[in-house]
Amino acid sequence: MDIRETYACTLDSELESVLVDLFHNEFGHPEWLDFPREGNGELYHYARRQFNLIKDDLLRYKFLFKFDAAMIHLDTKYGILNSPQAYVSLKHEGDKVCVFERNGLLFIFNFHPTNSFPDYKVGVETAGEYQIVLNTDVEEFGGFSRITDPTKDGKLSFFTNPDPWNNRSNSLFVYIPSRTALILQLKDKIVA
């Protein structure tokens, strides 16, 4: 997944009323964006989105389109944008990792261009079994599917420990590949 997509995902979740498409507004603009003006003969040719680009297998627009759809679906299911402000428990400049909780979801971002972190300790307020509800590293979004699930039901679980971490009552360990975001939810709270 492109780092701009991950950044947009962070902003969509952490800030109030930020549109998902704000930071990767180049979707459907393979060349440049140019609104009609005197200098271009009042043409609309470069002032339109070309949604047909998602059908071209040589381009990566299909991944961005699917990611946008997944983010909108996630917000529809969990009401992220209409919920109170996020609690940011970690912003680690060296690791380039950001972790926050919003509306019962745990957001984990690794912005590092090369470093993946196995068994990264993350603080979370509510104890229990967490599962992934969105993983930006899946092939569907152009990722590398570096998080594998050995379970039969296909739902990888992360269990909390009663070990306070980063001003949260509990903690868990998670593998976060480089340039990815994971969104976790308590297993018994996952919306179908």
In the chain, where are the structural domains located? 3-78, 87-189
pTM score? 0.80
Q: 87-189 belongs to which homologous superfamily?
A: Golgi alpha-mannosidase II (2.60.40.1180)
In this structure, the strands spanning 129-135 and 180-186 are: antiparallel
b/e map 110-123, b = 16+ CB within 10 Å: bbbeeebbeebebb
Which residues of the chain, if any, have pLDDT below 50? 1, 3-4, 7, 11, 14-24
How high is the pLDDT of residue 134?
93
Instruction: List pLDDT tens digits, range 116-135.
Output: 999 999 999 999 999 999 99
Instruction: List pLDDT tens digits, range 145-160.
Output: 999 876 666 678 999 9
Q: How many DSSP H helices and E strands does the chain contain?
A: 2, 8
